[in-house]
Amino acid sequence: MVTGPTASGKTCRAIQLAQQYHTEIVSCDSRQFYVELNIGVARPSPAELDAVPHHFIACRSVSNPYNVFDFESDAISLLNGLFKRYDVVVAVGGSGLYIEALCKGIAVLPDPPAALRASLQERLAVEGIASLQEQLRQLDPDYYDRVDRCNPARLQRALEVCLTAGRPYSELLKQQELKKRPFEIDVEVVCREPGELRSRIDARVEQMVADGLCDEVQSVWNLRHFNTLNTVGYREFFAYGSMKDAMSHLDEIVGSIKLNTWHYAKKQMTWCRKKYGQG
RNA sequence: GGUCGUUUGGCCGAGGGGCUAGGCACAGGUCUGCAAAACCUGCUACUCCGGUUCAAAUCCGGAAGCGACCU
């Protein structure tokens, strides 16, 4: 497993390893799954994809979103197949949660009905966060004690599971055992000095623009309401009402993309530090 | 040289005698189905020197910087 912050050189390292072991690559990148997203998510180049067989690149549409659970089951069945042919398989990605799911498994939880999700969303808007907090406190006091109570996303998630299952979310999580994978996992974190990483990010953003990022954004403009497009490199354009409007502020957009990418990289480093003691 | 105005943290920016907004940046962190998401914590500044006052970033003088206009 090759991981690390964005723009650290994971793709390159993964290809190098895959060639060394004469094997294939499984991508664990929550944005490179999508066929519509290429330049802005730094998908490996055609030459790179050609050099080593890659899985889970451009295999889905933004309008048909994916989630960690789906990824975990797809990845495990894929790996079961690959391990019949290879002793080693290279996985690569910077999406921490996806990597954790692949390495350790993820709880099997009931699928909440879409209507429930929508109604929680509406309650949040109408009644405010306190209402969700109070309900969670009643339905799952244990989880209430340790969640980020000000985080609507977590509150909603916990509530939708509690309400769908009829049991506390924390209890369902506790029942999950860590899966023992039928293979060993070595994690390699690709590290860079902060200053160097920042320069690499800036240079990569410039390159994306030179490679046609604006055209790509234009091509997904009508898909912007999909959450998958709430992504650095795209949302900075969507903040403007139209592509034309955005283009007249391109310098500012490029500046925000660089900064937001840096923020993202820092969060990834925090995650790697906690999970793997590096980064 | 003169007149008027202005000076708030790394940056923007409110306030305007005691309670020291807010935002951004920066630093650290949380994490089991939207994760390139969402959220949390830290960071106490009022140009300088005097004065008035129990108390001054806030009022009064002066200095310096900046700006505008005048000569």
DSSP secondary structure letters along A65-84: ---HHHHHHHHHHHHHHHHH
CA atoms within 13 A on the CB side of A17: 23
List all nucleotides in chain B with at least one atom under 7 A from a protein Cβ: 25-40
Q: Which nucleotide is nearest to A232 (CA to C1')?
A: B36
Give the residue, A279 or A171, on which the prediction is more confident: A171
User: Do A126 and A94 meet the contact criterion of CB atoms below 8 Å apart?
Assistant: no
User: Which residues touch A87 (CB under 8 Å, ≥6 apart)?
Assistant: A21, A23
User: What confidence tens digit (pLDDT) does each residue in A176-231 have?
Assistant: 876 789 999 999 999 999 999 999 999 999 999 999 999 999 999 999 999 999 99
CA of A219 to C1' of B42 (A): 41
Q: Mapping DSSP to helix (H, G, I), strand (E, B) and coil, where does residue A3 land?
A: strand
Q: What is the mean pLDDT of chain A?
A: 95
Q: What class does CATH assign to A114-175?
A: mainly alpha
Please list the residue range(s) of chain A that carry CATH number 1.10.20.140.
114-175
What is the side-by-side order of every strand in the sheet holding A25-27?
A: A54-55, A25-27, A90-92, A2-3, A188-189
Q: What class does CATH assign to A194-276?
A: mainly alpha
Q: Which nucleotide is nearest to A97 (CA to C1')?
A: B35
CATH match for A2-107+180-189 among 1.10.3720.10, 1.10.10.60, 3.40.50.10360, 3.40.50.300: 3.40.50.300
Please list the residue range(s) of chain A that carry CATH number 1.10.287.890.
194-276
CA of A249 to C1' of B26 (A): 25
State the pairing for strand pair A25-27/A90-92.
Answer: parallel
Distance CA(A275)–CA(A101), nearest Å, equals 13
Please list the residue range(s) of chain A that carry CATH number 3.40.50.300.
2-107+180-189
Quote the percentage of chain A above a pLDDT of 70. 99
Q: Identify the helix (H) or strand (E) that includes residue A223.
A: none
CA of A191 to C1' of B42 (A): 26
Q: ipTM of this model?
A: 0.94
Distance CA(A238)–CA(A249), nearest Å, equals 12
